[in-house]
Amino acid sequence: MLAVRWHARGDVRVEEVPPPAPPGPGELQLQVRWCGICGTDLEEWLNGPVFIPAAAPHPLTGARAPLVLGHEFAGVVVAVGAGVTGPWPGQRVAVDTIISCGSCHWCQRGEVTRCPALGALGLHGDGGLAELCNAPARMCLPVPDTVADDAASLAEPLAVAVRALRRGGLRPGERVAVVGAGPVGLLAVQAAAAFGAASVAVVEPLPERRALAVRLGADHATPPDDASALEADVAIECAGTPDAIQTALQALRSGGRAVLLGIVTESAPIAPLDLVRGEKSLIGSLSHVWDEDFREALQLLGSGAVQAAPLITDRIPLGAAVTGGLTVLRDEPERHLKILVGDAG
């Protein structure tokens, strides 16, 4: 089958590989319909390995590079392993790709994103940028009938936004600022409104993305220099840059909570006095939990509270994932929001 595999920094290839083995106990085999290219995939291509196990196999998956990228995907079940009680062949599913040990202190508390052995399909095991993919049945959730195949692949980034709002303790009637109007930021705008935010503001340097945020329900959109006037209760940092962290803190009123979900590897400028004097909180948020955030994301898509289609800026075939996907996102980062890869490209 055709697959997109990470070999090393700067070396991602579209190549023919053997199909996955028949699904084992508790597993499903999916025919992938659509898979999104994430900023994390781009980061791994340009600067990796960040998460990908290159020097040694991952302790849970046993996988190491080269491996198949893609952790934002949906497909249809084509085979099931022993002991599976659903979903069944023919059902459409979206995949919460998180892998955890299931036995540590955090897993026993249902806080799987804190598992010391945390992993994800598409980063620590073969993912969805392929024709077929095996996944544990427990992480495959049925797609509502009202959700199109391509929109279903955005359930994963929406779940990231849902978790960030949950981590920020958003209460109905509070004001939200979203820093960065990329795919996750625009999904966070819609989710915040659905969760009862009194107002949602967006901080974004690109005028066209500010305009899209307003069309998707933001009450206000502003460039970063004007963030300090927002007086938000919760700020969600989605830009993944050091400056965006400071912008998120500036957007808060006293007592506000800034949630960081962007992947920032450099040092960030933070004024501790601003945190202390305003009793502001700085909170990290990683990925999602399947039965809280991911299930909620699918419900939001199914109800129409969140629109995914306006974020999809291109659909390309699997064979063009590098030349028409990763390369375009590297060379023209302002042109696209979400590029989807699939057979119908």
Q: What band does 273 get if pLDDT is binned at 50, 70 and 90?
A: confident
pLDDT at 267: 78
Mean pLDDT of 112-135: 97
Looking at the DSSP bridge assignments, the partners of residue 77 are 30
Length of the chain counted residue by residue? 345
Rounded Cα distance between 238 and 117, Å, is 25
pLDDT of residue 344 exceeding 70, the answer is: no
Rounded Cα distance between 165 and 182, Å, is 16
Does the N-terminal peptide bond of residue 49 adopt cis geometry, omega within 30 degrees of 0?
A: yes
Looking at the DSSP bridge assignments, the partners of residue 305 are none
- Say which amino acid occupies 222: T
pLDDT of residue 240 exceeding 90, the answer is: no
Q: What band does 345 get if pLDDT is binned at 50, 70 and 90?
A: very low
**Tokens 């006293």 appear where?**
254
Percent of the chain at pLDDT > 70 equals 99
Percent of the chain at pLDDT > 90 equals 93
pLDDT of residue 132 exceeding 90, the answer is: yes
Nearest Cα to 82, choosing from 22, 24, 140, 139?
24
pLDDT digits (tens, 9 = 90+) for 27-61: 999 999 999 999 999 999 999 999 999 999 999 99
Q: What band does 262 get if pLDDT is binned at 50, 70 and 90?
A: confident
Q: What band does 187 get if pLDDT is binned at 50, 70 and 90?
A: very high
Q: Tell me the average pLDDT of the chain.
A: 95
Tokens of 135: 């996944």
Q: Mark residue 333 as left, alpha or beta (left: phi above 0; alpha: psi -120 to 50; beta: remaining).
A: alpha
CB 109 within 8 A of CB 45: no
CB 238 within 8 A of CB 182: yes
